[in-house]
Amino acid sequence: MGTVVTNIKRADRAAADALARYGVATVHEAQGRAGLMAPRMRPIYRGARISGTAVTATVTPGDNWMIHVAAEQCQEGDILVVAPTSTSESGFFGDLLGTLLQARGVRGLIIDGGCRDVADLEAMGFPVWSRCISAHGTVKETIGDVNLPISCGEQLVNPGDVIVADDDGVVVVPRLAAADVARKSQQREQREAGIRARYAAGELGLDMNNMRPRLAEKGLRYVDQADLDLG
């Protein structure tokens, strides 16, 4: 406890920025269904979609001191990712800290604890994904770490990784994988556009992907309800 790592390596800026375009669900698929935070991590308001490079911090339950320390390590294009060392539903973050981070070019906050001032944060356009909404204030007594690897939302986050967050949740992309995942996300999106058109035209996935033989092989059988009723 008590280490602040400075001058962290960040993911390539262009790749980090590009990932917001594809959204959480596509990025999560594109990197092989890895890195998705638990569904309890919800946006405090709907409609935001961001990506950026992670600055990580740990806080102790009911204590938000390290967010101030972490803020200094943040720069334009970062997303701050905060995990309490034990379950805590305190409101670690509000519109004042939102103002401070926004002034530094931080794009949003991911916190596995509570957030408050949610109406103000929405009004100022600073998005937060949190475990809960809670107005319960915190103290400034105990130190933690900044920019060490952490577990947040039940996922491992390394400083400099890319975070993508939208109405579907939050996904972590490893620092060195960002460009590759961006490329695969784009490919996936193109492929999905084709599928969407065929589905919209009434085609079934059963036919489009030739699923019937494999389903039959697994033992799937069709029974008319009338015959079932006789059974």
d(CA 162, CA 166): 14
Two structure tokens written together for 60:
């102790």
Out of 17, 29, 78, 161, which residue is the one contacting its own copies (CB under 8 A)?
Answer: 29
Q: Restricting to residues 72-101, name those near its own copies by CB under 8 A.
A: 72, 83, 85-91, 94-97, 99-100
Residue from 68, 75, 76, 125 binding its own copies (CB under 8 A): 68
Nearer to its own copies, 17 or 112 (CB): 112
109 strand-pairing partners:
80, 128
If one asks whether residue 119 binds its own copies (CB under 8 A), the answer comes out as yes
Q: Segment 160-189, which members bind its own copies (CB under 8 A)?
A: 166-169, 171
Nearest of 160, 150, 147, 148 to residue 54 by alpha carbon: 160
| Sign of the torsion angle spanned by Cα atoms 126, 173, 8, 65 | positive
Nearest-angstrom CA–CA distance, 59 and 92: 9
The token duo for 229 is 């009723």
136 lines the binding site for its own copies (CB under 8 A)? yes
4 near its own copies (CB under 8 A): yes
Whichever of 13 and 68 has its CB closer to its own copies, that residue is: 68
Residue 222 as a binder of its own copies (CB under 8 A): the answer is yes
